[in-house]
């Protein structure tokens, strides 16, 4: 059954027949873009205020528009607003309700505006707020790392390359590595916000408008730093959304690497970390299991975030200027990236507050694996042996140790000297884990002097300074 034409649709005038139900179902976005209602209403209020200042609305009309929009917002807040699929999207649901509520004044609101610049506005306003949310969540995670770095300052663990024990490091150094990674993510989000913080409103359908509008006033009242420069670019641009989701992707990659380490470290093979019972789950069949499901799920969710980025990039590729309906497909990936990354950051911050390191076991792991071999090579360099030669000497000493079944510091002085005559008694200091760590005072190194400085700085940055 077809509906009578012109009854509901705000664009119904040109149409002789009603839209097919299947088409309404296929084209509607209200089931997900209703999320933008607050931004849509804020944008409409700013637009109406400007229209009134320009003499395109009377003061009474403005007051009635504002009252109507506030009432609609209240209903949506309360969950009593009836969204209609046949009204397609959030813009037309709100506008139609406004006209029904306040009459002719409502019908003047859309002057000098199109849904093309309206959706660009709503999405920018929404993502601008989400940048702040991400920054706040990233700071929670970074704070958790600073707390761990302070708590375990002085404790050692093996540092890995190729997941093979490489050189001993301070646990705090490892924690502060993540502080840096998430710090870059934070910077990316604030940078992304700065670039997107321009008002698209007034680009109208794509060519601008002949009505006497004041774009700068609207921009100012919505807290934008200015207005976008080109109306065609403005209506077809989703760079800001792609950039935002790419910041999400980078953040989630870091979360995933961290999760991978937590999964490894909580295995019996490593036993480096204990995640509190409240943050683990059990197995329905194996009574002994305590599984690190949270980091596993975060790691698994990487695919969704990367997928959202791919969806957006693919969506934009090959789109001619300016607005195309394809662009409606931008919202679900954006929302999914927001939901996934913010939930993962929040739970990760909590989880970091609920884990403890098995410091004895970690220290134990630095006792084997010839982990101070590089220190022996450096020792020889200081005694004027060329590094390549030193590398060979130590390699032979390690092979000897492996054959004999002992670590370098367990070899006798005479045994060590058989590999190089420059080796003296002071070598044993160099072969200790503590000696190794404390020697690494190069900028950014794991020596306790450097790590203390880095930790102080981190505390200052995050507002935890003493």
**Catalytic annotation on 283?**
yes
> 199 or 344: whose CB is closer to ligand ARG?
199
Least distance to ligand ARG, CB of residue 23, Å: 13
- The size of the interface with ligand ARG (CB under 6 A), counted in residues, is 9
> 119 or 365: whose CB is closer to ligand ARG?
119
Tell me whether strands 198-199 and 226-227 are parallel, antiparallel or unpaired.
Answer: parallel
* Residue 81, helix vs strand vs coil: coil
> 119 or 273: whose CB is closer to ligand ARG?
119
Is residue 116 within the footprint of ligand ARG (CB under 6 A)?
A: yes
Q: Of residues 42, 49, 119, 362, which one binds ligand ARG by CB under 6 A?
A: 119
Is residue 322 within the footprint of ligand ARG (CB under 6 A)?
A: no
Is residue 121 within the footprint of ligand ARG (CB under 6 A)?
A: no
Alpha helices in 355-432 (DSSP H): 359-364, 373-382, 387-404, 413-417, 427-430
**CB neighbours of 371 closer than 8 A, spacing ≥ 6?**
158, 165, 166, 167, 168, 433, 436
Is residue 29 within the footprint of ligand ARG (CB under 6 A)?
A: yes
Contact by Cβ (8 Å): 431, 409: yes
> 89 or 237: whose CB is closer to ligand ARG?
89
> 120 or 351: whose CB is closer to ligand ARG?
120
Is residue 120 within the footprint of ligand ARG (CB under 6 A)?
A: no
* Residue 162, helix vs strand vs coil: coil
**Catalytic annotation on 5?**
no
> 237 or 409: whose CB is closer to ligand ARG?
237
* Residue 150, helix vs strand vs coil: helix
**Vertex 107 angle, CA 104 and 112, to 5°:** 140
Is residue 325 within the footprint of ligand ARG (CB under 6 A)?
A: yes
> 29 or 217: whose CB is closer to ligand ARG?
29
Q: Which of 31, 70, 267, 283 is catalytic?
A: 283
Q: Which of 22, 162, 284, 442 is catalytic?
A: 162
Q: Of residues 217, 328, 436, 446, which one binds ligand ARG by CB under 6 A?
A: 328
Least distance to ligand ARG, CB of residue 328, Å: 4
Alpha helices in 156-229 (DSSP H): 171-196, 215-221
Is residue 254 within the footprint of ligand ARG (CB under 6 A)?
A: no
CA distance 56 to 50: 9
How crowded is residue 15: how many other Cβ atoms within 10 Å of its Cβ? 11
CA distance 281 to 344: 17
* Span between the terminal Cα atoms of the chain, in Å: 73
Contact by Cβ (8 Å): 222, 106: no
Q: Of residues 24, 61, 86, 89, which one binds ligand ARG by CB under 6 A?
A: 89
- Could you tell me which stretch among 101-109, 112-120, 308-316, 350-358 binds ligand ARG (CB under 6 A)? 112-120
Contact by Cβ (8 Å): 206, 116: yes
- Could you tell me which stretch among 71-79, 111-119, 208-216, 445-453 binds ligand ARG (CB under 6 A)? 111-119
**CB neighbours of 211 closer than 8 A, spacing ≥ 6?**
54, 56, 111, 112
Is residue 327 within the footprint of ligand ARG (CB under 6 A)?
A: yes
Q: Which helix (H) or strand (E) holds 157?
A: strand 156-161
Contact by Cβ (8 Å): 266, 273: yes
Least distance to ligand ARG, CB of residue 30, Å: 9
By annotation, the residues acting in catalysis are 162, 283
Positions that interact with ligand ARG (CB under 6 A):
29, 33, 89, 115-116, 119, 325, 327-328
């Amino acid at each position: 059954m077809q509906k009578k034409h012109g009854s509901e649709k705000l664009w119904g005038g040109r149409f002789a027949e009603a839209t097919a139900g299947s088409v309404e179902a296929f084209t509607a976005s209200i089931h997900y873009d209703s999320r933008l209602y607050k931004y849509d209403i804020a944008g409409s209020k700013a637009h109406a205020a400007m229209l009134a200042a320009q003499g395109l609305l009377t003061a009474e009309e403005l007051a009635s528009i504002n009252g109507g929009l506030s009432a609609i917002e209240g209903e949506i807040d309360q969950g009593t607003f009836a969204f209609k699929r046949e009204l397609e999207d959030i813009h037309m649901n709100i506008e139609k309700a406004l006209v029904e509520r306040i009459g002719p004044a409502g019908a003047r609101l859309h002057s000098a505006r199109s849904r093309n610049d309206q959706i660009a506005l709503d999405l920018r306003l929404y993502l601008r707020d989400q940048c702040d949310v991400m920054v706040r969540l990233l700071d929670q995670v970074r704070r958790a790392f600073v707390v761990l770095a302070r708590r375990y300052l002085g404790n050692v663990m093996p540092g890995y390359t190729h997941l093979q024990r490489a050189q001993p490091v301070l646990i705090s150094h490892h924690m502060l590595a993540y502080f840096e990674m998430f710090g870059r993510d934070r910077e990316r989000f604030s940078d992304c916000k700065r670039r997107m913080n321009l008002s698209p409103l007034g680009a109208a359908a794509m060519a601008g408008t002949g009505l006497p509008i004041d774009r700068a006033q609207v921009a100012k009242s919505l807290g934008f730093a200015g207005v976008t420069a080109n109306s065609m670019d403005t209506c077809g641009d989703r760079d800001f959304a792609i950039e935002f989701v790419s910041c999400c992707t980078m953040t989630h990659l870091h979360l995933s690497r961290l999760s991978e380490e937590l999964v490894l470290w909580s295995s019996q093979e490593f036993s480096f970390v204990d995640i509190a019972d409240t943050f683990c789950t059990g197995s329905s069949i194996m009574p002994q299991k305590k599984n690190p499901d949270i980091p596993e799920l975060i790691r698994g969710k990487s695919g969704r975030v990367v997928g959202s980025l791919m969806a957006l990039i693919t969506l934009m590729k090959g789109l001619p200027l300016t607005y195309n309906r394809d662009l409606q497909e931008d919202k679900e990936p954006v929302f999914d990236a927001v939901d996934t990354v913010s939930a993962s950051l929040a739970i990760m911050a909590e989880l970091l507050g609920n884990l403890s390191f098995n410091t004895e076991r970690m220290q134990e792991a630095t006792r084997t694996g010839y982990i101070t071999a590089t220190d022996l090579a450096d020792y020889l360099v200081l005694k004027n042996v060329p590094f390549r030669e030193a590398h060979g000497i130590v390699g032979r000493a390690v092979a000897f140790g492996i054959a004999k079944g002992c670590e370098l510091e367990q070899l006798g002085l005479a045994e060590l000297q058989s590999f190089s005559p420059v080796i003296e008694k002071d070598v044993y200091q160099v072969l200790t884990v503590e000696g190794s760590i404390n020697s690494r005072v190069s900028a950014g190194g794991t020596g306790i002097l450097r790590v203390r400085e880095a930790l102080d700085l981190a505390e200052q940055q995050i507002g935890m300074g003493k």
